[in-house]
């Protein structure tokens, strides 16, 4: 092999850079995010109505796709109402439906999004609820 020394040296540097995130985080414990759902608005609801649009597991995995579908349906197809799998109807609106209950963006949305290092750009346009600084 020509220039074996240089190539191996280069490969080592490459490996060191690629694996940086792993060894940089070794030993650091990141707490599992636990989004809070105890907002005053949710507390106000009677116990048996404290349910999201769809079951928790579905929402956890699919809320982003659902919000995408909602926005296309509202903006482009002139719809306003979502019929849930339980047969309940909801106004399709991030600001006026989702955030009315989940008025704690920092403790709800941001908790997981920060943990997963995703930065959805909802809030560049949509106005987030005012929260008490805590």
Check binding of 129 to other proteins (CB under 8 A): yes
If one asks whether residue 78 binds other proteins (CB under 8 A), the answer comes out as yes
The Cβ of residue 127 has, within 10 Å, a number of other Cβ atoms equal to: 9
Binding piece for other proteins, criterion CB under 8 A, among 20-28, 39-47, 65-73, 108-116: 65-73
Quick one: 89 or 114, whose CB is closer to other proteins? Answer: 89
Under rule CB under 8 A, residue 108 binds other proteins: no
Backbone dihedral region for residue 24 (phi beyond 0: left; psi -120 to 50: alpha; all else: beta): alpha
75 binds other proteins (CB under 8 A): yes
When binding is defined by CB under 8 A, the residue of 6, 28, 76, 133 that contacts other proteins is 76
CA–CA separation, 79 and 99 (whole Å): 19
CB-nearer residue toward other proteins: 1 or 29:
1
Output b/e per residue, 54-89; b: 16+ Cβ within 10 A.
beeeeeeeebeebeeebeeebeeeeeeebeeeeeee
List contacts with other proteins (CB under 8 A): 69, 71, 73-83, 89, 91-92, 95-96, 121, 124-127, 129
């Amino acid at each position: 092999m020509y220039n074996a020394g240089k190539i191996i040296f280069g490969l080592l540097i490459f490996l060191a850079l690629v694996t940086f995130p792993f060894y940089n985080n070794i030993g650091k414990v990141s707490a599992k995010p636990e989004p809070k759902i105890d907002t005053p608005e949710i507390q106000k609801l009677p116990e048996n109505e404290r349910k999201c649009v769809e079951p928790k597991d579905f929402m956890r995995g699919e809320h982003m796709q659902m919000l995408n579908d909602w926005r296309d349906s509202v903006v482009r197809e002139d719809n306003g109402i979502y019929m849930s799998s339980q047969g309940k109807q909801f106004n399709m609106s991030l600001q006026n439906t989702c955030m009315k209950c989940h008025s704690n963006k920092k403790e709800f949305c941001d908790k997981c999004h920060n943990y997963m290092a995703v930065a959805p750009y909802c809030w560049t346009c949509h106005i987030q609820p005012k929260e008490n600084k805590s």
